[in-house]
Structure 1
Amino acid sequence: MIGKPITGKSFGGCVRYLLDKPDAKILSAEGVRIQDAKSITQDFNLQRKLRPGLGKAVGHLVLSWSKEDLPKLNDEVMVARAQEYMKKMGIANTQCLIVRHHDREHPHLHIVYNRVDNSGQTITDKNDYQRNIKACKDITLKYGYHLGEGKELVNRLALKGKESLKYELYDSIKSALKQSISWKGFESKLNAKGIAVAYKYRSGTNEVEGISFEKGALKMKGSSVDRSFSFAQLDRQLDRNYQVKQYQEALAANRPSLADQLREAIRIDVQAEHQHSHDRGESLLDILFRSEFIPAQSDPIGDADKRRRKRKKHEAEQSQGVTR
């Protein structure tokens, strides 16, 4: 199960969106009349007046399950999970409406609630992304729902607002990290994509203890974008990247030439001949000098020497014949 918390300004627009979808079904309501979208909106706005200075009084949540979870779900179960989720998110004592949609393959529902509660207090949205992740994980593990395969499989085109920016940050940070061997290079690549990097220092020292990233209206701690993007984790990965780069450069600089490799092979083969002169198969030298490894070439000097010896032998035979 995954959740998507949203805050907005207009109850009317949100309610109409929820109810105008084909096959939309109201599963539960608290503190609002459900005759029609107009009545629901009026009730939400009436309570909103208890806190007139709150601009974004509309709380909107989307809860989604994998299509593999469909056999485990029905309307009643989904309402129960939604209420459990809201409790974990600290959403209580307020008006709410739960609506199920059927416009996607996967089961999902929408919750709209009033951030001005029944007592006129504001329901906080502070750290709602982190609390959302924890709440969804707890419920998913508790009821054995399908676990997602990671951020790489999330449909980016379906994301909007802050959630879309969050995944832009994730993709950009991951890409920059793969290509960097230092913090300077890492920052430079992110800055080129319009992402600012800010460090948090331990009180009274120059020791970095945290990092955050900012793009547009969104600013998030590295660990909130992904647990592998904490300052400590990023620092370790950059150090590993640097070490790998150094190793590859050293390897390239010290790589022996083909002639050196051949001489070393001959030396090893000669030693092997002395140590294992019997009961041994094809030698390394045999392999190296097989025709498919080293093509046959003419030897002008050797051929000339052979012809000279042959000519001398012929002349000697003729001389002996004359003497006899």
Structure 2
Amino acid sequence: MMGKIPKPGKSFAGCVRYNVQKKDAEILYADGVRADQVNHTIADFNMQRKLNPDLGNAVGHIALSWSPNDAGKLNNDLMINIANEYLYKMKILDTQVLMVRHKDRDHPHLHIVYNRVNNQGQTISDKFQWKLNIKVAKALTLKHDMYLSKGKEQVNRQQLKGIDKVKYELYDAIKIASQKVNNMDELQQQLQKQGIGMLYKYKSGSREIQGVSFGKDDYKFKGSEIDRSLSYGKLSHSIEQRAIQQQEQKLRQRQFVGQLRGAVRSYHQGEAMSKGPTFHRDNNSILSILLEPQFSVQVSTDEDAYRRKKRKKGKGPGHDQDYRISR
């Protein structure tokens, strides 16, 4: 399950009409508002918002989505129960709520419209709501044994908006850039070229780095808030290990080239010092690879022609020497 929270809006009329009047929309639940007519629903929301006229953005809107893999087990009643659990854990309580299910996507999803002015005229805070949303959505997914995505790679980026869109843009950019650098300073330089800020958090009174945060436009997140793999410890370790592996790979390549050159040099030296190759065959050596059938080489010398000529004269095959290198 995944929750998407756009910024609070000003117009209940626009939000309610969008959700209720969409093709195949189905009102699942209404608390504190009439659901018989769209105009009645809008009027009820607007009546309560007057209890707190100073709150301009009183329209709360959340979309809850499930994986297509959960479609078979999700009925309306279960969606309502999970949505109410979600609202409770998000501390959206004692207020007007409307739940509408849409069927315009392959995955099951519903929209929640709620009044940020509660029944006592107090404001329902949206501070750090996006952060709590992640924890609550994951907890409810596990509780109800719903499908848990294996990673951010499977998320449809085109459907994201607002803070979720920025967060995934940061995730993608950092992941790609981290594969091209050898240290965190180089990562910072690469991200700056893309308009992404990177800021360290230091231990009080020292230069010891404790964390890292990333920012784009008006948004700023700790690395671990974007993804656990982007905490300072895990990200720096990942970059360091990849740099070490690259160095080791380059060293192995240089060693291989050196061994190959040595094997070829030994071959030519042996050819010059003997009548035929008498190399020791080590199945694990570079030279043994060169002696495989696919690397067989015909060595032609003037002495070959001379011996073949003698064999034709009846000297016998015992005097012939085969210079083919083969297994």
Q: Normalising by structure 1, report the TM-score.
A: 0.82
Which residue is 1:230 aligned to?
231
Moved more, 242-251 or 205-214: 242-251
Structure 1: 5+ residue runs without aligned partners? 273-280, 311-324
Match of 2:111 in 1: 110
Question: 1:6, CA displacement in angstroms?
Answer: 2.2
Tell me whether 138-147 or 223-232 shows the greater mean CA deviation: 138-147
Give the 3 Å change call, closer, same or farther, for CA 286–140 of structure 1 in structure 2: closer
Deviation at 1:147, TM superposition (A): 1.7
| Equivalent in the alignment of 2:280 | 270
Q: Tell me, what secondary structure is at the counterpart of 2:71? A: helix
User: Residue 113 of structure 1 aligns to a residue in which SS?
Assistant: strand
Distance 1:52 1:210, change over 3 A: farther
SS at match of 1:211: strand
CA positional deviation for 1:194? 1.3
In the TM superposition, structure 1's runs of 4+ consecutive aligned residues that sit over 6 Å from their partners are 263-266, 283-287, 304-307
Residues 264 and 120 from structure 1, CA distance in 2 versus in 1: closer, same or farther, beyond 3 angstroms?
A: farther
Give runs of aligned pairs for residues 117-136 of structure 1, distance below 5 A.
Answer: 117-136=118-137
Alignment of 1:110-189 (within 5 A): 110-189=111-190
Q: Distance in 2 between matches of 1:162 and 1:57?
A: 19
Q: Of residues 281, 295, 298 in structure 2, which corresponds to 1:296?
A: 298
Q: 1:290 to 1:251 in 2, by over 3 A?
A: closer
**C-alpha distance in 1 between matches for 2:293 and 2:67:** 61
1:250 aligns to what?
A: 251
- Does the 8 Å contact 1:180/1:241 carry over to 2? no
Amino acid at match of 1:7: K
Q: Which entry has the higher C-alpha Rg, 1 or 2?
A: 1
- Which SS does the other structure have where 1:270 is aligned? coil
| Residue of structure 2 equivalent to 1:318 | none
Q: For 1:201-235, what per-residue CA distance to the aligned partner results, in whole angstroms no more than 9, with x for missing partners?
A: 22222222121111112211111111111111111
Residue 286 of structure 1 deviates from its aligned partner by: 7.8
Name the structure 2 match of 1:204.
205
Structure 2 residues not aligned, in runs of 5+: 271-277, 312-327
* Alignment match, 2:318: none
Tell whether the 8 Å contact from 2:259 to 2:286 is kept in structure 1 after alignment: no
- 2:45 equivalent in structure 1: 44
Tell me the distance in 1 between the aligned counterparts of 2:15 and 2:266.
76
Provide the secondary structure at the position in 2 that maps to 1:124: coil
Q: Which residue of 2 aligns with 1:95?
A: 96
Is the CA contact 2:6–2:161 (under 8 Å) kept in the aligned structure 1?
Answer: no
Q: Tell me how far 1:79 sits from its aligned partner.
A: 0.8
Once structures 1 and 2 are overlaid, which stretch shifts more, 255-264 or 130-139? 255-264
SS of residue matched to 2:124: coil
CA 1:34 to 1:204, structure 2 compared with 1: closer, same or farther past 3 Å?
Answer: same
Shift in Å, 1:70: 2.2
Question: Residues 124-181 of structure 1: CA distance to partner in whole angstroms, max 9, x if unpaired?
Answer: 2222222112212221111211222321111111112222111111111110111111
User: 1:237-263 CA deviation, whole Å, 9 max, x = no partner?
Assistant: 111122123223333444415341356
Distance between the aligned counterparts of 1:262 and 1:129, measured in 2?
64
Compare 51-60 and 71-80 and name the one that shifted more: 51-60
For 2:298 and 2:146, the matched residues in 1 are separated by 68
Other structure's SS at 1:71 match: coil
- How far has the Cα of 1:289 moved from its partner? 4.3
Tell me the secondary structure at the aligned position of residue 97 of structure 1. strand
Q: CA deviation at 1:271?
A: 8.3
In the TM superposition, what whole-angstrom CA distance separates every residue of 1:8-40 from its partner, at most 9, and x where no partner exists? 222221111101111211111111222322222
Q: TM-score, normalised by structure 2?
A: 0.82
Partner of 1:33: 34
Q: Give yes or no for contact 1:202–1:209 (8 Å, CA) kept in 2.
A: yes
Backbone CA RMSD of aligned residues: 3.0
In structure 2, the residue matched to 1:261 is: 263
